[in-house]
Amino acid sequence: MPVRHLALNRVRQQFELTRLMEEIAQYYNVPHCAVALKCRDGNERTEFIAMHGVTAEAEAALCRHCAEEADPGSLKFFHHHLKRDLPIIIQNVNEVNMLRDHPLVVGTPHIQFYVAAPITKGEEFIGTLSIFDVSTRSDFAIQDCEMLQKAATEAAKILQDAV
């Protein structure tokens, strides 16, 4: 495929992912939504390919977090559940001992609520579509994840040429 077509394809994918994240953020009434993909270099890291509602400071913190994931002892948001076929829901991050002191909780973007659905390509788990907020959500349950799971499937279709 010529370079020009690759560039246009990536622009289209970014546009479609941005639209999808805006819809998901609005549907769930959350300020933040992100798509993170597992790095193809064999490392146990993820990288953000699209974000919605994330400030430049929060984006820098999230990207630092992804770079630090190479440390096998580090606790990972956006990656630790890639091998799950169901979404992960953390209604109140402060109630999870392992996460309470996490840099993304005590610092920017101050994650208090986190839900992520796996993005798959066939049987392979390639990333996550996540929503997160600075407020807890005690009423969020697995039944509330249907739209997020559908969006993760749509994200996989959008990304089919990129991964």
Domain boundaries, the chain: 3-159
Q: What is the pLDDT of residue 56?
A: 72
Give me the average pLDDT of each 10-residue run along the chain (163 residues): 52 89 94 82 69 76 62 51 75 87 82 91 85 92 91 92 53
Domain 3-159 part of CATH 3.40.50.720 = no
Element (H, E) at 155: helix 146-159
- Is the N-terminal amide bond of 109 cis, ω within 30° of 0? yes
Give the pairing of strands 88-90 and 124-133.
Answer: unpaired
Q: What is the pLDDT of residue 104?
A: 79
Q: What is the pLDDT of residue 51?
A: 83
Q: What is the pLDDT of residue 38?
A: 76
Alpha helix (H) ranges present in 29-91?
56-68
CB atoms closer than 10 angstroms to residue 12: 12
Q: Tokens standing for 133?
A: 């907020």
